[in-house]
Each structure stands twice: as C-alpha cells, then as structure tokens.
Amino acid sequence: MNPKPPALQREEWDFTKVPNSELAGCCWWEYARESAFIRDVRQRCLESRRTDAPNDEQLHQDVQKLQSIGDASEVFLRGCFLEPGIIYQSISEKLPHFRHPESHPITGSFPAPWQSLSSGERACRALVASYGKGIAPKPIERTHGHEAEDIAKSYRSRWHEVITAFHKIQKENPGKSEVQLRAEGKLEPYEEIWPSLFWESGCETTVLRIAWARYTNDELVQAFRKWVKKHRPKEIPVPSNKGRKPGDVRTHLTRLAVVRLLSRFRISQILNPKLEETAAILNSAQFSGNKWLDSTKWHDARREAGRLFRELFPFLSTEEKPLSWERPTPRK
C-alpha cells in the first residue's frame, strides 16, 4: 500500500491573496518551482558555494541557459548561491550577514513557495518581473555592459566568416569587381551583418544609431515603426495582447494551481461537495463559479499550464514536464 502523500499546503494552489503588483514575479517564481532542471541548477549553485569549488563550466553554461530568457530569470536566480533561511543585505566577506536598513533583502529562498517569502523580498523580486505588462519584458530598454561585449564578440566572429568567404569568391572569380559579383548573385552584401544577439525569450539586443539632432520625436517614432516592420524576425510573429493583463496572469497561476491539485486529487474528488479533504478548493474565491463544476475546464486549464511552462522556459529538454504533472493512480 502506497503511503499517503503529504497534504498540499494552501499557499501552493490558492493565489487569490497575491496583489497585482506581485503577480508577474509570482508567476515566474511558481512556474520555475515546477522545473526539475531549474531546481537542480539552484542546488548545484548552493553546493558550489559551500565547497568553494573551482569554476564549474557546466554549471556556468546551465546558469546561462536560465539567463537566456532575459531579466525575468533574476526573479528566481537572485540569491541562487546563498544559503536558505538567512537574510543577506550585504555579501561582503567581512560582514556576510550585515543588514543595511536601505538595502534590498537577498536570500536563498528558491524553491520555497512565493507566498512564504517576506513582503520585502516579494516586493524586491516582483520589481524585476514588472517590466511592461503582465509577464512581458519592457518593449525597449538600455542593455547591460556584458551584453555589449557579447555583441562585439559575435560581430567580430561573423565578420571574419563573411570576409573569409568574400576572399574565397574573389579568388574563384579573378578580375571581377565586387559590383559584378553582386550583380551575378555570387556575393551577398556583407555590410548587412547586424551586430545583434537573439535570446530564447524572443528579445534582441542590438546596436542602433539615432540622429537625435536631426529629427523630431514624431519623425523618429515613424522611422522606428518602419524599421520594426522591416526587421521583425520572420520566426517571431506579432503577438496578441492576450496574457499580459493582471487578470490574465492570475489565470496563469490558477492553471498552475489546477496542475498541482490534479496531481493529488481526482476531479471527481474535487467536485464532490461531501468530501472534507477537498471542500476548501471549490469554496475558495479562486475556484468559485459554475465554470469549475465542469470537469473539462480542469483538463483545459492543465493543458494550458503545460503549454505556458514550455513557453516560459524554452531551454528545457523536450522530455521535461512540470514536477506536478503526474496524476494520481485511478481506482480499479
């Protein structure tokens, strides 16, 4: 006889008390908790710090995978090398736990439930995810220094490849000018190498020249509109605005709650008003309304949560599913 699983704490599935200002951070955090890979990276970060191990190239690569989704990764990555249960407000070697009253709290909280964190830490982490609307990043922002360095490295590498190919074509076509080679279609315009980096999150970091002194704001906006239409990657179509409003993000969390609830209970148990173990679910504001009396809505919500899990963390292996994906064994 299999032992009964531990009770599912309410903070794992009831997100009604999460304020709008924290919704984006809570969504990233809670979905990240469902990833075995992200949890493993966190544990290896912690072990690396504990053992003062030399540079771990594999760990470095895996952390970079998490960072490939952009700034939102900092919601759960911040403090990944720190011990759980300790509030760090300075990580200097001399005063490792010194608390400055104006500094943001830093803790090794992941993967504890979002609602178990202190209000200060939730506010700090939520700021990272609050760019733009919902769980989307800012549409345009200044980039970081390390990304500028990565752009330069990428550009030099691509430039070397193109120049090498150009010289090869010139040797194969002696006496022909660059203009002739272009007209014959033998030479691609190598000046079209753009210094850009594309991230798995669908963001591009690039270099632009803006003639602020020559054009008005309206003229620059119109020019940028044309530039965006011309250079939007074909593999990234124009998205709808769906899923970016506070109500939409709450829906993402409700769907995750469904995944976790269905990993412990059968739908028939949840919909049984006489079952004391699950009575609190339908009595909660999150699952109120006739909609949740329809079993198909639970299946739909579970499927959509699985789809968003893949969308948020595209670097995960195709085999990885949310940790709460397994369903309870049906009765014979």
**Residues paired with 204 in a beta bridge:** 198
In sequence order, what DSSP letters do the residues of 190-259 get, joined into one string?
A: GGG---EEE-TTS-EEE-----TTTS-HHHHHHHHHHHHHHHS-TTSPPPPSTT-SHHHHHHHHHHHHHH
Sign of CA dihedral 147, 150, 156, 160: negative
Neighbours of 310 (CB within 10 A): 13
Q: For residues 250 and 15, is the Cβ–Cβ distance under 8 A?
A: yes
pLDDT of residue 128: 80
Only one residue has tokens 């699952």, namely: 287
The rounded distance, in Å, linking the Cα atoms of 105 and 126 is 13
Listed in order, strand segments (DSSP E) in 74-118 are 87-88, 106-107
CA 327 → CA 95, 196, 322, 323, distances in Å?
47, 44, 12, 11
Reply yes or no on whether the pLDDT at 131 is more than 70: no
Domain borders along the chain are 12-129, 145-215
Whether a cis peptide bond, with omega within 30° of 0, leads into 195 is no
Mode of pairing for the β-strands spanning 106-107 and 196-198:
unpaired
Mode of pairing for the β-strands spanning 87-88 and 106-107:
antiparallel
Q: For residues 19 and 25, is the Cβ–Cβ distance under 8 A?
A: no
User: What would the pLDDT profile of 22-62 be if each residue is shown by its tens digit?
Assistant: 999 999 999 999 999 999 999 999 999 888 876 788 999 99
pTM for the whole structure: 0.69
CA 86 → CA 82, 83, 96, 270, 297, distances in Å?
8, 6, 10, 38, 41
- CA of residue 282 relative to chain centroid, distance: 30
User: What would the pLDDT profile of 148-201 be if each residue is shown by its tens digit?
Assistant: 777 888 788 877 877 887 788 888 888 888 778 777 777 765 556 677 777 656
pLDDT of residue 1: 46
Share of the chain above pLDDT 70, in %: 82
Give the side-chain half-sphere CA count within 13 A for 250.
14
User: What would the pLDDT profile of 245-300 be if each residue is shown by its tens digit?
Assistant: 657 889 999 999 999 999 999 999 999 988 988 989 999 999 988 899 999 999 99
